[in-house]
Structure 1
Amino acid sequence: MSQNSPTAPFSAAARPELTADPQRRLGVLLSHGFTGSPASMRPWAEYLAERGYGVEVPLLPGHGTSWQEMNTTGWADWHGAVEAAFTRLRADHDVVVVAGLSMGGALALRLAADHPDDVAAVVLVNPGINSTNKQLLALPVLKWLMPSMPAIGNDIKKPGGDEHGYERTPLKALASMLGGWRQVRADLAKVKAPVQVFRSVDDHVLDPSSVELITRHVPNASVTLLHDSFHVATIDNDAPRIYADSAEFIRSATGV
């Protein structure tokens, strides 16, 4: 896969001379969402890299290929990929911030709960850790009867937006994600870093229950409502606000 492909992983080295404190190098890990790709995070990553931060956007296993391949992967694989990226950033930077879109938000919270002393701040965009959709109750049986169902992809208000995701939702992978969500919900109280949440008022993928749980159980969480974007807000109309506000939040939270 070409590094110029929108679905390829993104990595940019920090430029310490551009940071607020050149003696403290800051790394940012951005995680894309379920069935998505780094294309949904690349403009944000480039914005942060231009401000002197080291940035990584890993391509999660099973993504960027086919939904059939994704059905052979699960939460442990996706968590392993962000854990490895976090370890690399932590080795090369003094301060690390984690961020994510949708399921990427759940993975970011998992890292923050597992590494409370090493995650300096968390930024979440329409994070997914819960759903009130009763149809999901049938998933433990349904995943053995049918491999996939139509996806709700490219939930983007801005014309022409494309997150380069799958047109089908792999059900075994979906069931695994829901299992990962349960683990994240159980450990929300372990998240000690300040958390900034961006939530789209009009989101056709996730209901508000995820953000409600985060604000209820994470004491340092604040929410910004987005009124001109759908689920994939990182490349939607509110994207410039997300980029600017998150950069200011990171600077305020870390001093870098």
Structure 2
Amino acid sequence: MPPAFRFEGGAEGVLLVHGLGRTPEEMRLLGKGLNRAGFTVQGVALAGHGGSEEELLASDWRAWYASVEVAAVELRGRVDRMFVAGSSMGALLALRLAAVHPDWVAGVGVFGATFRYDGWSTGWAARMSFLLPLFKRLGIGRHRRLLQWPPHGIHEQRLREHFGRNMPGGPDGATQREGDPWHALAETVELARDVRRRLPSVLAPCFIAHALDDEVASAANADLVARHVRGPVEMLLLADSYHMITIDRERRMLIERSADFFDRVAREARSARVAA
């Protein structure tokens, strides 16, 4: 497993959680941008990720979440206030951390949350993903993959080619992958069910960003979060990006708006503490 990145900064920290089958590298540009804005930033390396397919299949969503908790404990020991943000499946793990540990999390970045694989490129197989946990229990399709076709989450071809060449993400690369194994996707379905039930326990402010043209998970996933969390919500809908909004065309807007959101939440928290 590749090491998670860490950028030292100020007294507020942001924990960044990558998506299924990927590595912290998909969050590095966001992390650098948040660090330039003054935040201490740490990327989580999820259990089972960044190595072989067998390593991924040997892990489950509980192990992925445990990775987030361990990293959160570490970061909390070094900062006064912690935010958490995740991309795709990582957004679900970030929301779960906020629901389970409301006293740990000052705010949540929810980027391309994937509760349902209902984007325009997914096809009927992805839309039937609710059956995958049953297939896994029956031992069906362990080495079958849900094939992925271009655009691989990135709108602009130049960026797609660049990140496919230069952003390592395990044996298949960070963006140019053959697809996700059925049994790993079965774990994301189980995770989504768990987190959906917990959304009303999310009391922290949420910054929800989603591509309007997301080919993997439609913007209905963002609406689901906004409707069910109980904390204040701010929404950013991106018109010129696909699923991987942390590296696509509008990543600079995402970085700026995320930094502004976390900074405002932190300032309000400091003001409230002084007033008390």
TM surpasses 0.5? yes
Stretches of structure 2 lacking an aligned partner (at least 5 in a row): 119-125, 271-276
Which amino acid is 2:68 matched to?
A: V
Counterpart secondary structure, 2:46: coil
Note if 1:249 corresponds to 2:247: no
Are the counterparts in 1 of residues 212 and 218 from structure 2 also a CA contact under 8 Å? no
* Structure 1 residue aligned with 2:7: 12
Which amino acid is 1:91 matched to?
A: G
Are the counterparts in 2 of residues 67 and 168 from structure 1 also a CA contact under 8 Å? no
* Structure 1 residue aligned with 2:210: 199
Counterpart secondary structure, 1:41: helix
Are the counterparts in 1 of residues 88 and 112 from structure 2 also a CA contact under 8 Å? yes
* Structure 1 residue aligned with 2:121: none
Residues 200-209 or 88-97, more deviating:
200-209
* Structure 2 residue aligned with 1:175: 186
Write the distance in 2 (CA, Å) between the matches of 1:111 and 1:140.
Answer: 23
Normalised to the residue count of structure 1, the TM-score between the two structures is 0.88
Note if 1:31 corresponds to 2:39: no
Stretches of structure 1 lacking an aligned partner (at least 5 in a row): 2-6, 17-24
Write the distance in 2 (CA, Å) between the matches of 1:186 and 1:61.
Answer: 23
In the TM superposition, residue 67 of structure 1 has moved relative to its aligned partner by 2.2
* Structure 2 residue aligned with 1:126: 112
Which amino acid is 2:241 matched to?
A: S
Write the distance in 1 (CA, Å) between the matches of 2:34 and 2:144.
Answer: 36
Are the counterparts in 2 of residues 96 and 119 from structure 1 also a CA contact under 8 Å? yes
Counterpart secondary structure, 1:205: coil
In the TM superposition, residue 188 of structure 1 has moved relative to its aligned partner by 0.5
* Structure 1 residue aligned with 2:155: 157
Counterpart secondary structure, 2:14: strand
Normalised to the residue count of structure 2, the TM-score between the two structures is 0.82
* Structure 1 residue aligned with 2:95: 109
Pick closer, same or farther for the CA change 1:134–1:232 going to 2, 3 Å: closer
In the TM superposition, residue 58 of structure 1 has moved relative to its aligned partner by 1.5
Supply the RMSD in Å over aligned alpha carbons: 1.9
Are the counterparts in 2 of residues 131 and 210 from structure 1 also a CA contact under 8 Å? no
Encode CA deviations 1:90-139: one digit per residue, 9 max, x unaligned: 11111000001001100000011011122111111111233455411331
Write the distance in 2 (CA, Å) between the matches of 1:39 and 1:231.
Answer: 16
Residues 223-232 or 54-63, more deviating:
54-63
Counterpart secondary structure, 1:100: strand
Which amino acid is 2:63 matched to?
A: D
Residues 226-235 or 65-74, more deviating:
65-74
In the TM superposition, residue 141 of structure 1 has moved relative to its aligned partner by 4.2
* Structure 1 residue aligned with 2:247: 235
In the TM superposition, residue 239 of structure 1 has moved relative to its aligned partner by 0.2
Encode CA deviations 1:120-169: one digit per residue, 9 max, x unaligned: 11111111233455411331343422223144373111222336334231
Write the distance in 2 (CA, Å) between the matches of 1:209 and 1:8.
Answer: 34
